[in-house]
Structure 1
Amino acid sequence: MKIKKYFCIGVLITLSIVAKAQAIEIDNFLQNQMKEHHIPAVSVAIIEHGKVVLTKTYGKANLEYNITNSEGTAFQLASATKLLAATALMTLVQDGKLDLHIKVRAYLPQLPQAWDDMQVIDLVAHQSGIADLLGLKYEFNSLQSALDTAVARPLDFAPGTKTVYAGGDYAVVMKLIETITGMSYQQFLNQSLLAKLGMKHTVYNNMEQDFIYRTYDTIPYAATVYKWDSEKSQQRIFSMLFPSWTYPAGGLFASIEDLSKWAVALDNNTLLKPEIQEQMWTAAKLRDGKDSPFGVGWIVADRKGEKATGHSGGPALADIVRLPDRKLTAIVLTNQLELRPNLTMQVVDLYLKHKK
């Protein structure tokens, strides 16, 4: 019995040493990155098998008022928004209200006949051929206005024949969700995901622009986004307008605390069954049988021979990586525009370096 007791104590001591080594290396890495790239604030979390094994916040969420970054500070997710939108969308698949491989016109028959070969999976995997509405640089004042422009233009390519990361796909996704559920997209996201998980610091700011005027909701816990001016050696404030018709694709603010709740829910199958989740990070197929780089909103890639999935946004405001086979999710949030989103995979590598 004593041998067993000493063995257990030895294991616990070893695990504690490993955990401290992981935390110190990740801590040093991120603080060095903050100095090198002039990042005012960073939040990081690692979630493994349904438990938050590491979470830490650094720096200032707001420099003007000297506000410290905290676990409740909400960062702009930009295109990483798609991961939460996809999770909510898949609840409709799970409930039998949506089929990814059914034609979009089965749900939205008012769409043009020329779109008849387009499937739902083509929208969420960026292979629809719909014109890049953001690339047009038009100011659409509503979802319907954006859709009217999309349907008036010819498809850029036949659905399912190539992958192009464009801004028109998710406008149709938004229309699809609102038609199926009978509620606004934001109401659906809140009901199907945010409220269920208690994600109280995950919101849109509902920014609107009228000529030179911008208005948006106050978010008391939101981090300010900065852009480093190398010539003047100073930070400048940066803001980006995410029109409401793009909200399934970008614009969401979320805290490291809230995103950790979401990652825990993925591990514990709280919202989605394992087989439904697997569809999110399974590469879609093009019509020629080749794999797309996207699943349902999630980028599908490879890390040292194992599947790695996730999305970044900003270019570096948010970066989320998940290793599904390990049930491991790593999240890094920053408020510096100038950094490319490559921190999270390095955090994953540092974390896994000490694990057998």
Structure 2
Amino acid sequence: MKKLLCLLFLLGGLLYARAQDTTTAKLDSLLSTYNRVYKFNGTALITQHGKILLHKAYGFRNVADSVRNDTGTIFQLGSVTKQFTAVIILKLEEEKKLSVQDKVSKYFPDFPKGDSITIHHLLTHTSGIYNYTNDRTFMESEVFKPASREKLMALFKDKPLDFPPGTRWNYSNSGYCLLGYIAEKAANKPYEQLVREYIFNPLHMTNSGFDFKRLNNKEKSTGYFFINQDSSKVAPGVDSSVSFAAGAMYSTTRDLYKWHQAAQQYKILTKADWERAYTPVLNHYGYGMNIDSTEGKRRISHGGGIHGFITTLTRVPEDDVCIILLDNASDNTIGRISESVQSILYNRPYTLPRVRNAIQVAETTLQQYTGEYDMKGFTITIAVKDGMLTGQPTGQQPAILYAEKEDFFFLSIADVQIKFTRGDKNEVNGMILYENDREKIGTKVK
């Protein structure tokens, strides 16, 4: 009987290992395919039931030097920072240095309507405070320079509230910067020092920090607006004093996995306070985290985007699932990738991105497509440059169009395809623009 039980346990273990290997292969195939179509350039760490199923890097850390990403590459996180800020606030409350019911006016007496806005409102994006990253002029010219507290607060302090506090939801980076300033006043320490003392040091998150622009580390990645087969465009760095408690953090997949494990074990905060953070208020948002469900189980997530980087961290605590995707080429497909990863983990259907292969087309043929196309609201100018077809929508830079087949072209930097149409005499007379599963018809006017 004992021999039979041992045999059954052995067979069960082998079947589990084989299933795990199959899952890992699917995950790697998914991310490799997205990398081949220039939709994922970064590092992934994926776990389930406490087992690391995949920890692998894809693409380039630095294109110019042909240095590839690895599992130690350091990325900016953007708004994934917000959950760390929220936990710091709750930790300070546990130490009775503040309360989430405190009014903003307690810390900034001259803040307009600060007596009607609580820390709870700031944490849950229900304060109504204007989001300073909506200031286009500032975002285009000032985010790269250091900004004092006074300068940053001046961007939103005197703006009218979007709504009465607590009545609606509207994402506000301003609110999270304000939380960082409040934490500094309550603890009489810099925000970055608080995060190190309460989180980074206890969890041994040794490759995490805030001042990414000035970080001197060979593992530091270069951020790009895009990377494709022909070119790349480096993104200018946002100063950490501007993104601050709303989005300045940098880290690695290993360090973020330590963060996940700490949350699983209810470290740093009490279990009750972790549960408070996980409790949605409006729009499925808790304290610095999105709260919804998958397979009937609570899912906790947050994405981040900052010049040159896009990231996502998704957790399903009940199944010890952790999905960390860090990308240094700014492609917004990362949310779709995360959903496909979850489909693999839970045996749901998913699709791989289509790999489009370019063909060579003679320049004389490309000239047939040149001209201006009226898209009813904007114009696309098609031209030939250096033997390549380019498309330039109104107000944008030209992008290379690659031929996939006769009259059909695609962009490598976005999910965009163009099909040129012809008239009775076989002349090119228009185009159909396909973008993110939508299509728009245009007429050739010149």
Give the TM-score taking structure 1 as reference length. 0.86
Q: Please list, as runs of the form range in 1=range in 2, the aligned pairs for 1:138-287 lying within 5 A after superposition.
A: 138=138, 139=142, 141-205=147-211, 207=213, 216-228=214-226, 233-284=230-281
- TM-superposed CA distance for 1:64, in Å, is 1.7
- For structure 1, the 5+ residue unaligned runs are 208-215, 285-290
**2:121 matches 1:122:** yes
2:365 aligns to what? none
One-letter amino acid matched to 1:351: L
CA distance in 1 between counterparts of 2:163 and 2:237 reads 29
- TM-superposed CA distance for 1:246, in Å, is 2.9
2:82 aligns to what? 82
1:210 aligns to what? none
2:311 aligns to what? 318
SS in 2 for 1:276: helix
CA distance in 2 between counterparts of 1:240 and 1:165 reads 23
Deviation per CA, 1:238-273: give whole Å up to 9, x if none.
Answer: 234145143111122111111111111111222222
**Contact 1:47/1:264 (8 A) holds in 2:** no
Q: Percent identity?
A: 22
One-letter amino acid matched to 2:20: A
Q: 1:243 to 1:203 in 2, by over 3 A?
A: closer
- TM-superposed CA distance for 1:73, in Å, is 0.8
- The number of residues matched between the two structures is 337
One-letter amino acid matched to 2:103: K
1:97 aligns to what? 97
Q: 1:50 to 1:96 in 2, by over 3 A?
A: farther
- For structure 2, the 5+ residue unaligned runs are 349-446
SS in 2 for 1:203: coil
SS in 2 for 1:37: coil
* Structure that is richer in helix per residue: 1
1:287 aligns to what? none
Q: 1:201 to 1:228 in 2, by over 3 A?
A: same
SS in 2 for 1:150: coil
1:17 aligns to what? 18
Give the TM-score taking structure 2 as reference length. 0.70
**2:33 matches 1:36:** no
**Contact 1:103/1:117 (8 A) holds in 2:** yes
Of 338, 341, 346, which aligns to 2:340?
Answer: 346
Q: 1:242 to 1:166 in 2, by over 3 A?
A: farther
Greater Cα radius of gyration, structure 1 or 2 = 2
Deviation per CA, 1:179-217: give whole Å up to 9, x if none.
Answer: 11111011111111111111111122364xxxxxxxx34
SS in 1 for 2:246: coil
- TM-superposed CA distance for 1:301, in Å, is 2.5
- TM-superposed CA distance for 1:347, in Å, is 1.1
1:296 aligns to what? 287
**Contact 2:210/2:240 (8 A) holds in 1:** no
* Structure that is richer in strand per residue: 2
**Contact 2:104/2:111 (8 A) holds in 1:** no
CA distance in 2 between counterparts of 1:252 and 1:324 reads 23
Q: Please list, as runs of the form range in 1=range in 2, the aligned pairs for 1:32-71 lying within 5 A after superposition.
A: 32-39=33-40, 41-48=41-48, 52-71=52-71
One-letter amino acid matched to 2:206: K
SS in 2 for 1:8: helix
Deviation per CA, 1:306-344: give whole Å up to 9, x if none.
Answer: 332211112762111112333322111111113333222
4+ residue runs over 6 A deviation? none
CA distance in 1 between counterparts of 2:186 and 2:19 reads 49
SS in 1 for 2:334: coil
- TM-superposed CA distance for 1:81, in Å, is 1.6
- TM-superposed CA distance for 1:90, in Å, is 2.7
CA distance in 1 between counterparts of 2:294 and 2:153 reads 37
CA distance in 2 between counterparts of 1:111 and 1:206 reads 32
Q: 1:266 to 1:191 in 2, by over 3 A?
A: same
